[in-house]
Amino acid sequence: MTSGMSGMSGMLERARWAARAFARYDKASVDRVVAAVARAGADNATRYAEWAVRETGFGVAEHKALKNVACSTGLVEEYAGHDYVSPRTDAAQKIVSVPRPAGVVFALTPSTNPVATVYFKILLALMTRNAIVISPHPMAKECCADAARTLAAAAVEAGAPDGVIQVIEEPKLPLIESMMADPRVDVIVATGGTPVVRAAYRSGNPALGVGPGNVPVFVDRTADLESAARLIVDSKAFDNSILCTNESVLIAEDAIADRLVSLMRGAHLLSPADRDRVREAVFPGGRFDTRFVGKDATWIAQQAGVRVPPGTRVLLAPIDRPMPEEPLAHEKLCPVLALLRVPSTRAGIDAARAVLRISGAGHSAAIHSTDSRTIMEYGAAVPVLRVSVNSGNSLGGSGVHTNLPISMTIGTGYVGGSSAGENLQPGNLVNWTRLAYHVDAPFGDFTGLDPWSPPDGPVPRYPEPSNARTAPASPAAPAPQADVLREEIRRLILEELASLVRS
């Protein structure tokens, strides 16, 4: 753990030492570490959820706790049948694949999903035998640092090398930039705003980054309207829309729009005048005011001077066209949902494409329909890499309510300017060495062969050099003041120069 530039080198050296040791562990030893860390995460899910809301000031603790469980024991259950440690043999292709961990993972985590992302990235690193250094968002540094320390203690207790999980307790931009560019970092996993991701790509080290979301959700005339209405409201209200997968613009066919809105219990349809007040409050001068991130709908309405019924969870804001000049057509990490009516399926698909031209390309979209032809046409037309079908997208796009990989890091692929095109998963943090036989050569017998083994006895602590340990100063004998030291050094240098002249 470190809080400044002076500790950076020692932190990375410790991580490299841990990564080298951990890379020799066998599957059973890795599974033991992963299970212990996941249990520690789940056991503290509610505590850290409440802490994150207190520290950041946004989101819903109950919903954050659900994400924390999903990204701890839920994640381990999801990958229980996967093996990123043992060699794989393909006798038909005459290829043996040996896993090679990345090494040291430098992970940037956001303020929006702070602890869930810490859990998620730590477990992905451990499943693939990597060491990880967490760099939390400054707004969530306390809960994230404590969570990382808790998981680190559980890992070491279960037999992991000391230093396999570390955290920057006082993240500062110069320190983060320096660590991202350090050659001892093997891969950067960046979850956060566009500037952070671009900085990761500029660092010179391999990086996995993500782009922003701006999710269009299309409801056509064939949809199960009661289900669609419930799922959209629940998704948009989940954790006060803090997930980047939350719906941003609801596109509804005219034929069913009124019925859909009437079924959206907990959603309040704004009048044009109230819509303008909310727009001005949330987007003053056309730019999103981050004060509204993760705040609930009634608080937002109050700030805008708008009266809403008790129990309002989502503010529905009608718009005429999805264009860049319309602020409400942009990403909104709060429970304000733009509503656009369209005359036909074709117009709905075109509108979704227009929303994604504003921002969110490569990220996510959603559709509620029972027409397979429409669903296929929509999926092929919208420039995203995941489309939730008849599901809320907040937990659908992140894999909690669909069979996509559970993830807090959503790759946007080439169309979104990202090197990752899928929900980040363990396979992204491991490469495979292929032992490939000549096509006509007889294939060897690799039955029971495994280059890895359990650690031989208790794992030693990181071997810190003796000169790195500084004894605490005695209160009775305070250390010399800086100016006294400078004068002593100056005297010694002058004496040495004088002796050189005399000789």
List active site positions. 244
CA distance readout (Å), 387 to 30, 382, 398, 469: 34, 9, 11, 54
CA 355, 361, 366, 372 torsion: positive or negative? positive
End-to-end CA distance of the chain: 50
Q: What residue spans of 359-435 are helical by DSSP H?
A: 372-381, 393-396
Residues in contact with 225: Cβ distance below 8 Å, sequence separation at least 6, in sequence order: 219, 256, 259, 260, 263
127 and 426 in contact (C-beta within 8 Å)? yes
160 and 126 in contact (C-beta within 8 Å)? yes
369 and 221 in contact (C-beta within 8 Å)? no
Phi-psi region of 57 (alpha: psi -120 to 50; beta: other; left: phi over 0): left
List phi, psi (to 5°) of 432.
Answer: -130, 125
Helix (H) or strand (E) holding 365: strand 365-368
DSSP 8-state secondary structure symbol assigned to residue 247: E
Cα–Cα distance between 211 and 190 in angstroms, integer? 10
Phi-psi region of 413 (alpha: psi -120 to 50; beta: other; left: phi over 0): left
Residues in contact with 163: Cβ distance below 8 Å, sequence separation at least 6, in sequence order: 14, 15, 17, 18, 131, 462
Minimal CA–CA distance to 102: which of 14, 208, 9?
Answer: 208
271 and 305 in contact (C-beta within 8 Å)? no
